[in-house]
C-alpha cells in the first residue's frame, strides 16, 4: 500500500506546486524501490528454480550410476564383467560420481554470506611413507604491519596443509671416469687403474636400475615394450622396443638360476597348488598366433599359518598335455591342489618317479558347474546344491588362518557330515536326472571327482578350492591382455621367469623394483652359485640393500 503524501497549504490556503512535486518524486522513488525489490526477488526465485532443476538432474544421474554399480556387483552372470574389466568400470563410475557430486561453479554465490569452509573428505587421511621427499613452502601475508599503526604484528599460530605432487621419471647419465696412473721415472713400473664397475650387460647402456624399471613396467605394470618406448621418447630418448626386448632377454637369462632355486624350494613343501592358463604366442612360420600355456605352481601356507614363505613359479609350455604338468611337478611329493583338469590324472600313477601324488579337487569348480545350470535355467536342483555347498564355505571362512590341526578337527566334526549329506543328495539326483541332460552332465562331473573333493577333510593344509592359484594367474592375464600375444616361445619363457620373481616379491611384501635392482647388481658382481638361495625374495633385507 502506497503511503499518502503530506499536503501542505500556502498562506492563501491552496496547495503549493512545490509540495506536489516533492510528493510525486517521493512516490516515484518508492515505486522504483519496489520494482527493484521485485526484480531481485524474481531473480532469486529463478536461481532457486535453476538450482532445484540442477539438483534434480544431479540426483537422476547419481541414481543411474547407482543402478550401474548395483548391476556390476549383483547383476546376472551374463551382465557381469571379469575382475579386471570390473575394476575399470569401478574406476570410471567413481570418476562420474565425483563429477556429479562436485559443487557447481557459479558466480551467483555470495561469498561474504557463506563461511569459507573447505569440505572435508570422508576418507581417512593418507599417511605418507617416510622416504618421500618433503618440501615446505611458507606463504607470508603481503604485509604484517598493523592497521592501527602500532607496528609489526606478532605471530600467534599457523595453519598447515599437505598436498601430494609428483616429479615425472627422470633419466640420469652416469659417466664413469677411471684415471690411469704410471711412474714418470721408471719405464717398468706399469700402469695402475681401478677396475671397471660390474655390469650385468657388459659394455651395455643400461644400469641394473634401468633394467629393473623395464622389467617391472612390462611384467609388473603390464606395459608392452612399444608403449614403454613411447614413454621414453617423451623424455627425448629414442630407445626402440627391439633394444628393450634385448635387455629383457639378457636379464631373464641371468635370473634363471634364481627361478630354478625358487622352484626347488617350493617342491620341498608337502602341498602345492597347480593350474594352467592359455596365452597366445606368435608362430613366425605361419605368421599367425598359436596357443601356448602358462603352467603355475603356488605355495601359500598363510591360510593355515604355515612356516614356509609363499611363492609362485610360472613355466611356459607349448601345450596342455599331461607331460607338461608332470615336468612342472618333477621332484615333488605330497598333495597337489588342482582344478579338475583330467590332464593331472597321470600324477596319481603308482609308478610315477617319486611316488603318486594326492590330488585335491576344487569345490569352487563343483559349485561353478551348478551355478551355470542355475543361471541358465533356474533349476531348483542346482539351487539346492548351491545352498548345500554354501554351508561348507561358511565353516571355511571361520577357520581361515587357524593351524592345520584345528582346521582338520573342525572340518571332521562339522563339515564332514554336511559333505556326506551332499553325497547322498548327489546320488539321489543323479538317479532322477538323465545323464545326457545338461544338469546330468554337471552332476556327473562332480561325482567323477568325488574322492578328490574329500581330500580337504583329511588334511588341514589343503584348501577347499584352488582359488588361491587362480589369483596368481590374474597378473599373467593382464599382461596377455595388454600385449595381445608373446612374440615367440622363448619370449614367453622369459615372461614366465620374470613374472615368477615379481609376483613372489609381491606375495612376500617385498617391493619388486628394489629386489630386482639389488639382485641384478649382485649377479653382475659375481654372486656365488652356491649361495643363490640368499637372493630369494624372502631373504631380501631392505635395510641393508
The DSSP annotation for 118-179 comes to PPPPSSPPPPPPTTS---------S--B-TTSS-BPPP------------------------
Q: Note the pLDDT tens digit of each residue in 122-147.
A: 455 667 778 788 888 888 888 888 88
Q: Give the CA dihedral 467, 473, 477, 483, nearest 10 degrees.
A: 170
Name the residue among 299, 261, 132, 183 with its Cα closest to residue 535: 261
Burial class (CB in 10 A: 0-12, 13-18, 19+), 460: buried
At 477 the pLDDT is 81
Lookup: cell for 65:
550410476
- Strands 335-337 and 271-283 come out as parallel
Classified as helix, coil or strand, 109 is coil
In sequence order, what are the residues at sequence separation of 6 or more whose Cβ sits closer than 8 angstroms to the Cβ of residue 245? Answer: 225, 487, 491
CA distance 232 to 184: 47
* Greatest distance between any 2 Cα atoms in the chain: 141
3-state SS string for 250-275: HHHHHHHHHHHHHHHHHHCCCEEEEE
CB 249 within 8 A of CB 492: no
pLDDT value at residue 83:
56
List alpha helices for 276-335, DSSP H. 322-328
Q: How far is CA 198 from CA 201, 207, 210, 248, 524, in A?
A: 9, 10, 15, 18, 6
Distance CA 539, CA 284 (A): 40
Is residue 303 within 8 A of residue 400, CB to CB? The reply is yes
68 CB contacts (<8 Å, ≥6 apart)?
89, 93
Candidates 387, 366, 368; CA nearest to 376 is 368
Q: CA 411 to CA 396: how far, in whole Å?
A: 8
For residues 213 and 267, the answer to whether their CB atoms sit within 8 Å is no
Rounded Cα gap, residues 364 and 18, in angstroms: 101
The DSSP bridge partners found for residue 271 are: 335
Residue 114: the pLDDT is 43
Tens-digit pLDDT profile for the chain (545 aa)? 445 555 444 444 455 677 778 777 888 888 888 888 888 888 888 888 888 887 887 777 677 667 666 665 666 544 445 555 555 455 555 555 555 555 444 444 444 444 444 444 445 566 777 878 888 888 888 888 888 888 888 888 888 888 778 777 788 888 889 898 888 776 666 788 898 888 888 878 899 999 999 999 998 988 888 889 999 888 888 888 888 888 998 999 999 999 999 999 999 999 999 999 888 877 666 667 788 899 999 999 999 988 999 999 999 998 888 899 899 999 999 999 998 888 899 999 999 988 999 999 999 999 999 999 998 889 999 999 999 999 999 999 999 999 999 999 999 999 999 999 999 999 999 999 998 899 999 999 999 999 999 999 999 999 999 999 999 998 888 877 766 556 567 788 888 999 999 999 999 999 999 999 999 999 999 999 999 999 999 999 865 44
What pLDDT does 458 receive? 93
3-state secondary structure of 188: coil
Show the CA angle centred on residue 95, arms to residues 90 and 99, nearest 5°.
145
- 64 within 8 A of 99, measured Cβ to Cβ: no
pLDDT value of position 296: 94
Distance of CA 286 to the CA centre of its chain: 36
Q: What predicted TM-score, i.e. pTM, was given to this entire model?
A: 0.75
1: part of which helix (H) or strand (E)? none
- Cα–Cα distance, 48 to 45 (Å, whole number): 5
Phi/psi of residue 461, nearest 5 degrees? -85, -15
151: left (phi over 0), alpha (psi -120 to 50) or beta: left
317 by DSSP, 3-state: which? Answer: strand
Residue 539 is placed in which grid cell?
631373504
Residue 277: phi, psi to the nearest 5?
-140, 140
Q: How far apart are CA 199 and CA 521, in angstroms?
A: 7
- Count, residues in the chain: 545
CA–CA distance, 50 with 46 (Å, rounded to integer): 6
Q: How many CA atoms within 13 Å lie on the side-chain side of 285?
A: 2
Burial (CB count <10 Å: 0-12, 13-18, 19+), residue 467: middle
- Cell for 511? 617391493
- Quote the pLDDT of residue 341: 85
Let me know: does 292 contact 485? Beta carbons within 8 Å: no
Return d(Cα 403, Cα 395) in angstroms, integer. 15
Amino acid at each position: 500500500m502506497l503511503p499518502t503524501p503530506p499536503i501542505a497549504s500556502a498562506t492563501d490556503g491552496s496547495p503549493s506546486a512545490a509540495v506536489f512535486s516533492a510528493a510525486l518524486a517521493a512516490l516515484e522513488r518508492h515505486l522504483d524501490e519496489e520494482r527493484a525489490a521485485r526484480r531481485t526477488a524474481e531473480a532469486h526465485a529463478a536461481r532457486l528454480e535453476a538450482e532445484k532443476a540442477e539438483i534434480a538432474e544431479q540426483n537422476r544421474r547419481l541414481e543411474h550410476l547407482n543402478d550401474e554399480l548395483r548391476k556390476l556387483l549383483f547383476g546376472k552372470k551374463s551382465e557381469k564383467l571379469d575382475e579386471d574389466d570390473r575394476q575399470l568400470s569401478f574406476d570410471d563410475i567413481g570418476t562420474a560420481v565425483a563429477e556429479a557430486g562436485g559443487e557447481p561453479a557459479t558466480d551467483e554465490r555470495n561469498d561474504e554470506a557463506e563461511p569459507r569452509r573447505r569440505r572435508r573428505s570422508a576418507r581417512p587421511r593418507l599417511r605418507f611413507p617416510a622416504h618421500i621427499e618433503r618440501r615446505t613452502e611458507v606463504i607470508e601475508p603481503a604485509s604484517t604491519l598493523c592497521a592501527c599503526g602500532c607496528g609489526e604484528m606478532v605471530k600467534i599460530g599457523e595453519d598447515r596443509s599437505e598436498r601430494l605432487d609428483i616429479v615425472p621419471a627422470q633419466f640420469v647419465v652416469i659417466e664413469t671416469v677411471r684415471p690411469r696412473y704410471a711412474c714418470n721415472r721408471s719405464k717398468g713400473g706399469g700402469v695402475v687403474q681401478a677396475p671397471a664397475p660390474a655390469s650385468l650387460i657388459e659394455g651395455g647402456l643400461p644400469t641394473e636400475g634401468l633394467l629393473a624399471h623395464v622389467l617391472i613396467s612390462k611384467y609388473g605394470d603390464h606395459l608392452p615394450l612399444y608403449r614403454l618406448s613411447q614413454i621414453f621418447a617423451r623424455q627425448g630418448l629414442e630407445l626402440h622396443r627391439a633394444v628393450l626386448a634385448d635387455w629383457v632377454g639378457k636379464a631373464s637369462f641371468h635370473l634363471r638360476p634364481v627361478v630354478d632355486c625358487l622352484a626347488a624350494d617350493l617342491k620341498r613343501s608337502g602341498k602345492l597348488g597347480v593350474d594352467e592358463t592359455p596365452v597366445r604366442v606368435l608362430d613366425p612360420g605361419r605368421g599367425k598366433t598359436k596357443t601356448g600355456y602358462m603352467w603355475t605352481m603356488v605355495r601359500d601356507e598363510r591360510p593355515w599359518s604355515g612356516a614356509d614363505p609363499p611363492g609362485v613359479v610360472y613355466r611356459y609350455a607349448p601345450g596342455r598335455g599331461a607331460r607338461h604338468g608332470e615336468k612342472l611337478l618333477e621332484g615333488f611329493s605330497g598333495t597337489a591342489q588342482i582344478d579338475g583338469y583330467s590332464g593331472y590324472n597321470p600324477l596319481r600313477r603308482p609308478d610315477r618317479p617319486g611316488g603318486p601324488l594326492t590330488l585335491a579337487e576344487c569345490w569352487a569348480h563343483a559349485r561353478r558347474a551348478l551355478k551355470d545350470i542355475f543361471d541358465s535355467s533356474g533349476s531348483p536342483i542346482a539351487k539346492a546344491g548351491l545352498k548345500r555347498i554354501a554351508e561348507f564355505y561358511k565353516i571355511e571362512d571361520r577357520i581361515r588362518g587357524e593351524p592345520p590341526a584345528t582346521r582338520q578337527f573342525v572340518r571332521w566334526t562339522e563339515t564332514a557330515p554336511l559333505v556326506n549329506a551332499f553325497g547322498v543328495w548327489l546320488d539321489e539326483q543323479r538317479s532322477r536326472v538323465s545323464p545326457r541332460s545338461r544338469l546330468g552332465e554337471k552332476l556327473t562331473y562332480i561325482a567323477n571327482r568325488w574322492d578328490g573333493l574329500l581330500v580337504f577333510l583329511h588334511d588341514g593344509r589343503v584348501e577347499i578350492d584352488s582359488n588361491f592359484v587362480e589369483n596368481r594367474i590374474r597378473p599373467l592375464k593382464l599382461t596377455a591382455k595388454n600385449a595381445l600375444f608373446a612374440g615367440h616361445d622363448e619370449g614367453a619363457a622369459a615372461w614366465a621367469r620374470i613374472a615368477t620373481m615379481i609376483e613372489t616379491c609381491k606375495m612376500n611384501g617385498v617391493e619388486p623394483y628394489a629386489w630386482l635392482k639389488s639382485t641384478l647388481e649382485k649377479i653382475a658382481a659375481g654372486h656365488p652359485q652356491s649361495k643363490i638361495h640368499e637372493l630369494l625374495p624372502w631373504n631380501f633385507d631392505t635395510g641393508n640393500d
